[in-house]
Amino acid sequence: MNWPNGMNHPAVDKVNSVRQGDGRPVILIHGLAASLHDWDSLAPALATSGYQACALDLLGHGESCKPERLEEYTIENVFQHMTGWMESLHLGDPSILIGHSLGGYLALEYALRFPTNVRALVLVNPFYSTRQLSKFLQFIFQRQLMNTAIIERIPYRLFRIVIDMTSLHFGSTVDGVHILPESVRAQTALDYKRAAPGIYNIPRTLRDQTPDLPRVQVPALVIWGARDKTLAPTSFLKLAEALPNGRGQAILPCGHVVHQCHPEQFNREVLEYLSTI
């Protein structure tokens, strides 16, 4: 791996992570307020197919370190936390990076800064510009979080109610009522509850990556749920077209968490794409 001299990384012993399988390394990067459990379906499929799946909890998420000061929750600190962990893996070969939402931003940023360390990208409903957000969410994320007391007091059961309500769908569903299976809904609510409130300051520190997209020369698959209510679905096709070696693939029945909504179809699309690299 090629790393710039003198780079200072956060302590990697504060990174919660898992590794499965042997072979070409695949780095799995979750989104905001999620965890490495986002990849509970994909990681075993990768390991079975001859890859080494490596997933982490980002800074402030899951069981990784959670700084107390709100000022520490910036995209740069999250990025340094992630790259410090990647360096500690001593992978040797260039990696395939798979990132969802905020994880897609981090994967793109890594490819821009360390292009020789990347073999390919899989960007899942990726967040690369605040212009992908609705005007309301843009208004929210442009303002710094000052008081976390309310967030800290929200009970798990309320997070679970919200997740269950947003998972309701009358159409193509997992159990006839919900888009997401019960186990995924329970884990999602738990991830929201245990994440540090400061993570909601991270989006306001993102830069617009759009001007730099032509510099990402590695093969890239952009895959998304056509019913995404968080980020504009039209933005994903624009991203695929802006990447010199990009491809786009929509999965129609899904929303923002396509990798959890229809995991079998998602895994199949990813593995078929990786087999062409």
pLDDT at 149 over 70: no
Long-range CB pairs of 59-62, under 8 A, 24+ apart, other chains included: 59/10, 60/195, 60/196, 60/198, 60/199, 60/202, 61/30, 61/33, 61/34, 61/35, 61/191, 61/195, 61/196, 61/199, 62/16, 62/35, 62/36, 62/37, 62/191, 62/194, 62/195
User: What is the rounded distance in angstroms from the CA atom of residue 129 to the CA atom of residue 240?
Assistant: 14
Over residues 26-55, the pLDDT tens digits come to 999 999 999 999 999 999 999 999 999 999
- Is 5's pLDDT higher than 80? no
In the chain the first and final C-alpha atoms are separated, in Å, by: 19
- 199 and 61 Cβ atoms separated by less than 8 Å: yes
Residue 86 has phi, psi (to 5 degrees) of -60, -40
Neighbouring CB atoms inside 10 A of 36's CB total 23
pLDDT value at 16 more than 50: yes
- Tens-digit pLDDT profile for residues 217-264: 999 999 999 999 899 999 999 999 999 999 999 998 789 999 999 999
Q: Identify the residue with better confidence: 29 or 7.
A: 29
Q: How far apart are CA 184 and CA 163, in angstroms?
A: 10
Question: Within the chain, where are the H helices?
Answer: 42-48, 75-88, 102-113, 135-141, 149-153, 156-167, 182-194, 233-242, 258-261, 263-274
% of the chain residues with pLDDT over 70? 87
Q: What is the pLDDT of residue 67?
A: 94
CA–CA dist 263, 87 (Å, integer) = 29
pLDDT, position 177: 62
SS3 for 52-74, per residue?
EEEEECCCCCCCCCCCCCHHHCC
Rounded Cα gap, residues 92 and 89, in angstroms: 9
Return the pLDDT at 11: 44
Contact 184, 260 (CB under 8 A): yes
State both tokens at 195.
């994440």
The pLDDT of residue 182: 85
Tokens of 70: 């709100």
Cβ count near 89 (within 10 Å): 17
DSSP state of 89: T
pLDDT tens for residues 155-210? 878 777 777 777 665 344 445 566 788 888 989 999 999 999 999 999 999 999 99
Q: What are the tokens at 192?
A: 């929201």
Q: How many CB atoms lie within 10 A of CB 229?
A: 11
Top pLDDT among 107 and 70 is at 107
Condensed to tens digits (0 to 9), the pLDDT of residues 86-145 reads 999 999 899 999 999 999 999 999 999 999 999 999 999 999 999 999 887 777 776 666
What's the angle, vertex CA 233, arms to CA 229 and CA 237, rounded to 5? 165
| Domain 12-132+205-274 of CATH type 3.40.50.1820 | yes
In this prediction, residue 175 carries a pLDDT of: 52
Does the pLDDT at position 66 exceed 70? Answer: yes
- Cβ count within 10 A of residue 21: 19
CB atoms closer than 10 angstroms to residue 142: 11
pLDDT range class, residue 4, cuts 50, 70, 90 = very low
